[in-house]
Amino acid sequence: MALSDTDIKAWSEALNLAEQNGTAMKRITKTIPDLDIPSSYDIQDRLIRLRCDRGEQIVGYKMGLTSKAKMEQMGVSDPIMGVLTDAMKVESNANYSLKNKIHPRIEPEIAFHIKSELKGNVGREKLLGACSWASLALEIIDSRYRNFDFRLPDVLADNCSSTGFVLGEAISNIASLALDNIQLQMTFDDKVMQEGSSSAILGHPLDSLEALVSMLSARGKSLPADSIVLAGAATAAVTLEAGTKVTVSGTGFSPVNLSIVS
Ligand code: OOG
Ligand code: MG
């Protein structure tokens, strides 16, 4: 079902409030079981507009549910895309506070910087040419829905649970990286919490970027020049705990750390 403009506004305001107050809400599809995908993206767009009205700037996009581990963890089997703003950027080695968060989780990712605008059907070659660097990343996700329980339209409306992202050292010699064979490991203190390969990300992380560009194009948009893109988690996400140091390491990259505080 397509939503009216009034309803799109109301749901985006509800999601915005849930995020600002750190309180979970009932998923939209409990109220509107047949919420359609275009309306979900309209809610996402409105939600991002509310952030921009507060002075935030769009810095890129993220792909999600691009690995089997994530699809199984969340019970949704279609890749999704969301928007990243400057306010979501967290410096590596920072103390990250869980204050005002609902039930935050963290996952290991690979990020790319795209220097020139991309649209339509792009292959790996074109993507590589447009890519200025790659880095390891940690993504913090915090669904605004109670118990992290959502269906595809809900998670799209909620900007794909986007909350924070940490970027590691930028590697500009991308050719030196075996992009589909990066062994990723995420630890809490010294305990291994998740391990996986970048091949889990739609087979190859650049194929995830290709999917992003085609999803944007299908909505009449393009991937703008100077965009950061998170390709999607290679493993399931893990609930954050105060007092832990989270580290992600990956072949060819220096590790990225984040200290979690209450
Ligand atoms: C949705 C966000 C998924 C990823 O990398 O798969 C995501 C969620 O799991 O809440 O960011
Ligand atoms: Mg993610």
Which ligand does the CA of 75 lie closest to? 1
Structure tokens at 146: 């109670």
155 lines ligand 1 (CB under 6 A): yes
Half-sphere exposure at residue 41, Cβ-oriented, CA atoms within 13 angstroms? 11
- Domain 58-261 matching CATH 3.90.850.10: the answer reads yes
64 lines ligand 1 (CB under 6 A): yes
Let me know: does 84 contact 110? Beta carbons within 8 Å: no
Closest residue to atom 3 of ligand 1, CA basis = 64
Q: Flag whether pLDDT at 1 surpasses 90.
A: no
Q: What is the pLDDT of residue 27?
A: 98
107 lines ligand 1 (CB under 6 A): yes
Task: Kindly give the number of the ligand 1 atom that is closest to the alpha carbon of 73.
Answer: 9
Which ligand does the CA of 201 lie closest to? 1
Q: How far is CA 169 from the centre of its chain?
A: 19
Let me know: does 16 contact 52? Beta carbons within 8 Å: no
70 lines ligand 1 (CB under 6 A): yes
Closest residue to atom 7 of ligand 1, CA basis = 64
141 lines ligand 1 (CB under 6 A): yes
Closest residue to atom 9 of ligand 1, CA basis = 74
Mean pLDDT over 200-217 rounds to 97
Q: What is the pLDDT of residue 66?
A: 96
Structure tokens at 77: 């089997």
Q: What is the pLDDT of residue 32?
A: 97
Q: What's at 212, amino acid-wise?
A: L
Q: What is the pLDDT of residue 76?
A: 92
Closest residue to atom 4 of ligand 1, CA basis = 64
Mean pLDDT over 113-134 rounds to 97
65 lines ligand 1 (CB under 6 A): yes
Q: Which helix (H) or strand (E) holds 62?
A: strand 58-64
Q: What is the pLDDT of residue 169?
A: 97
48 lines ligand 1 (CB under 6 A): no
Closest residue to atom 1 of ligand 1, CA basis = 160
Task: Kindly give the number of the ligand 1 atom that is closest to the alpha carbon of 109.
Answer: 5
Q: Flag whether pLDDT at 58 surpasses 90.
A: yes
The alpha carbon of 232 and the centre of ligand 1 are apart by a number of angstroms equal to: 7
Q: What is the pLDDT of residue 137?
A: 98
- Indicate the average pLDDT of the chain: 97
Strands 256-261 vs 95-97: parallel, antiparallel or unpaired: parallel
Residue length, the chain? 262
233 lines ligand 1 (CB under 6 A): yes
Q: What is the pLDDT of residue 103?
A: 98
Q: What is the pLDDT of residue 86?
A: 98
Q: Flag whether pLDDT at 50 surpasses 90.
A: yes
Please give the Cα distance from 168 to 62 (Å, whole number): 16
Please give the Cα distance from 83 to 188 (Å, whole number): 27
Its pTM stands at 0.97
- What pLDDT, in 10s, does the model give residues 138-191? 999 999 999 999 999 999 999 999 999 999 999 999 988 999 999 999 999 999
163 lines ligand 1 (CB under 6 A): no
Mean pLDDT over 201-229 rounds to 97
208 lines ligand 1 (CB under 6 A): no
- What pLDDT, in 10s, does the model give residues 72-121? 999 999 999 999 999 999 999 999 999 999 999 999 999 999 999 999 99
Closest residue to atom 8 of ligand 1, CA basis = 161
